[in-house]
Amino acid sequence: MGEIWGEVLGTQAPPTQAVRWVCALVALVVVALPGSWRRSRVVVTVAHEGAHAVVAVLCGRRLDGVRLHRDSSGLTLSRGRPRGPGMVATAFAGYPGPALLGLGAAALLADGRALAVLWLAVLLLAGLLLWVRNAYGLLAVGLSLALVAAVSWWAEPRWQSAAAHAGTWFLLLGAVRAAVELGRDRRRERGRTSDADVLARLTHVPAPVWVAVLVLLTLGAAALSARLLLA
């Protein structure tokens, strides 16, 4: 165990500049193409709902469970005051969640800690798995957990580093696309129960303003992370 923790907390050789650019471009293609995005978006949804759950607990709310659906939507149920700062923070956390997680991972990767990023993902997925309350959600989170754990345990260091970079880029770019799609769906008269609409009802700030804030936050996280990952 001492050796394992030494590796997790230690540093690994960073990938070459070419590999880092390839990881970024692969993630960009996956997020940009409708078919691949539709199949992979559930990963961003996992981070989105996980952020709702973590903030709900931190704000003193009682977490009832998380559900993930085949259409890549999700729902986090918590109990507590129906209004107030805790509810606002819980509703706000979803869309910035994947972006901020990606920014944190980028900071670790810039310090050469790819294995720490992978094991942090394992711990977060394992924690979320305890709160999932439907079969598809268990499958999605369980498969993600198994895949990341397998890479963390058996892959060579260079592949671990590449996987950490690619996964980080996917979270960052996927968070941007999800926030942009939120605004698009609202313009098409869908999504009136979205996080932005919940925030509008809680704060009396119009939903389009919240959409703009979420887009700017995710773009900012992606820009800061790009400086860390591609420097």
pLDDT tens digit sequence for 114-166: 999 999 999 999 999 999 999 999 999 999 999 999 999 898 989 999 999 99
Q: What is the H or E stretch that residue 75 is in?
A: strand 74-79
In this predicted structure, what is the pLDDT of residue 2? 52
- How much is the average pLDDT of 43-56? 96
Provide the residue ranges of all domains of the chain, joining segments of one domain with +: 16-229
**Rounded mean pLDDT, 58-81:** 93
Band of pLDDT at residue 8, cut at 50, 70 and 90: low
Lowest-pLDDT range of 52-56, 72-76, 102-106, 188-192: 188-192
What is the model's pTM?
Answer: 0.93
Q: What are phi and psi of 141, to 5 degrees?
A: -70, -40
The dihedral formed by the CA atoms of 97, 32, 74 and 146, expressed in degrees to the nearest 10: -80
Q: Which residues contact 131 (CB under 8 A, 6 or more apart)?
A: 53, 63, 65, 66
Q: Which of 5-9, 27-31, 137-141 has the lowest mean pLDDT?
A: 5-9
Q: At what angle do helices 157-187 and 96-110 cross, to 10 degrees?
A: 160
Q: For residue 231, what pLDDT is reported?
A: 84
What percent of the chain shows pLDDT beyond 70? 94
Mean pLDDT over residues 51-75, rounded?
A: 94
Cα separation, 129 vs 66, whole angstroms: 9
Residue 64 host element (H or E): strand 62-68
Cα-flanking dihedrals φ and ψ of residue 75, to 5°? Answer: -150, 130
